[in-house]
Amino acid sequence: MSFLGLDFLLAASLALLVFYAIPVKWRPGFLLAVSLAFFALAGPAYLPLVLLLTLADFLLARGMAASGPAGRRRLLQLGLLLNVGVLVFFKYTFFLNSLLGALLPDWGRAFSAARNTLLVPLGLSYFIFKKISYLLDCYWARQQPEKRFSRLLLYVVFFPEITAGPIDRAGRLLPQFARGGDFNRLDISAGLHQVLWGVFKKTVIADRLATLVGPVFQHHGQYPPQAILAAALLFSIQVYADFSGYSDMAIGLGRLFGYRLQMNFDRPYFALTIGDFWKRWHISLSQWLRDYLFLPLSFGFLRRFPQARILGLKTEMHAYAAASLVTMALCGLWHGASWNFLFWGLLHGLFLAGGYFSRRARRRLKKKLGISSQSALNRVWQQLVTFLLVSLAWIFFKSDSLPAALGMFRRLLAPSGWFAGEARGAAALSGTAGKVELAVALAAVGMLLLVEILQGRARIGHLLRSLKWPLRWAIYYLFILGILFFGMFTATEFVYQGF
């Protein structure tokens, strides 16, 4: 059931009315029933799996609280083995089999025959990461084990988040579920604002850009390098509008039910560095990777190599580079079990390591050139460079395979293509969907940029609520009309639902 479907709109509206009509103490139970029903509609066969895995986490966390250090470690290892094992089985079996198939072809044929019968449970990557963070936080005594299984299960399958996040921590959501969810006019208003903005970003911006970008990625050999570069830049906007649009809708839905979910995006294309980008992009995943992968890997490296320097460089530099590469490689594989996602992650790891190693050299160069780090010109330059690097990396992310991505780069880097007199970027792109479509898409992107600039100065919700009601409602109606007239409702699947 898609967030953009009429059936979901009707079901969510009915659920919201019932939620506030029943007593407060029944509301978490009702929300759990709604979330389980939402999960079951996507694949009822996997509902017992989620129930049993969550029950195992519930018992293991309580067991850790009552055990000594050795027992707690064994229980944690068992919990991690269960959760990671399920993730690997459903998501990476065929990727690992492709590596094994080169050595044992019979195995490859056997696994390939089963490929079409194995479906991945809804939101697998998201709820497994939730469960792993819960177990680790309980092990490190950051989180008290939940006493009610139903509450932990609601945390795992909470329907606004299960499809594509955010990956909220148990310490944030469990206390809110314990309170039940009270009716608050501000929550309803803010939730509707955010849902409306999310729908606009998805239908008017992301799906319209998809019609321009998709043909270039599918048939890059037919397009000049200018069009390929334009498509890469526009895909950056598309994937951002698509995923942040989903996050806005999920957070807005949570707010409608009285729950505050974690903010997942903070104007990522205004980032000054790749590190800054990852603090702003998919924030819940970035923080998860930092806390449960990057920091443990860094500290483990430093414990393994306690000496002050390695090959003339501080050990901390090696630890940062190694942890960045491993973390981002796993981040790439989390997004998809294929070589292009692995390369996308490794490329970001190289960007992070390169930025860290070049800090001093860049500072010295700016000092020699008399450029202030705080100047507006320097900030704009850093933002443009960061956006370009991220956009080029997105080529690996968007492409169907690693050879396809490399083919786009070969086309992009061929000097002859830039001066061959072929159709330029805008003309070639407009040929895929029409000049009107291109004009509407660019106007929508301009509106997104304007809102992002305003968002950097004040929260849009606060600005809207400060306006007189006629002007405020006029803006609402304009957005609704914009969605109805310019929204595209054919490609309703969200990009990150596939992960």
Element (H, E) at 47: helix 47-65
Domain boundaries, the chain: 20-182, 186-268+415-498, 273-398
Please, are residues 261 and 161 in contact by the beta-carbon 8 Å criterion? yes
pLDDT for position 42: 77
Q: Report d(CA 231, CA 239) in Å as an integer.
A: 12
The SS3 call for residue 133 is: helix
Q: Report d(CA 19, CA 158) in Å as an integer.
A: 14
pLDDT for position 497: 66
pLDDT for position 422: 52
The SS3 call for residue 157 is: helix
Which two three-digit tokens encode residue 435?
Answer: 């000049």
The SS3 call for residue 350 is: helix
Each residue's pLDDT, cut to its tens digit, for the chain (499 residues) gives 567 777 888 888 899 999 999 988 899 999 999 999 988 887 778 889 999 999 999 999 999 988 888 999 999 999 999 999 999 888 887 777 666 665 656 555 555 555 555 677 778 889 999 999 999 999 999 999 999 999 999 999 999 988 887 999 999 999 999 887 778 888 888 888 889 899 999 999 998 898 889 889 988 888 888 889 999 999 999 999 999 999 999 999 999 999 999 999 999 999 999 999 999 999 999 999 999 999 999 998 888 888 777 777 788 888 999 999 999 999 999 988 888 999 999 999 999 999 988 888 888 888 887 777 778 888 899 999 999 999 999 999 999 889 999 999 998 888 776 776 555 555 666 665 667 778 888 888 998 998 888 887 767 667 777 777 778 778 888 888 888 888 887 756 777 666 6
What pTM did the predictor assign? 0.90
Q: CA distances (Å), 413 to each of 229, 354, 376, 402, in order? A: 10, 22, 31, 16
Please, are residues 56 and 82 in contact by the beta-carbon 8 Å criterion? yes
Please, are residues 269 and 456 in contact by the beta-carbon 8 Å criterion? no
Q: Report d(CA 339, CA 358) in Å as an integer.
A: 28
Q: Report d(CA 228, CA 222) in Å as an integer.
A: 10
pLDDT for position 102: 58
The Cβ of residue 112 has, within 10 Å, a number of other Cβ atoms equal to 13
Q: Report d(CA 130, CA 433) in Å as an integer.
A: 40
Element (H, E) at 294: none
Q: Report d(CA 476, CA 59) in Å as an integer.
A: 48
- Give residue 61's Cα distance to chain centre: 27
Greatest pairwise CA separation for the chain in angstroms: 73
Nearest Cα to Cα of residue 41 among 2, 67, 14: 2
Q: Report d(CA 331, CA 342) in Å as an integer.
A: 8
- Listed in sequence order, the residues at least 6 apart from 192 whose beta carbon sits closer than 8 Å to its beta carbon are 252, 256
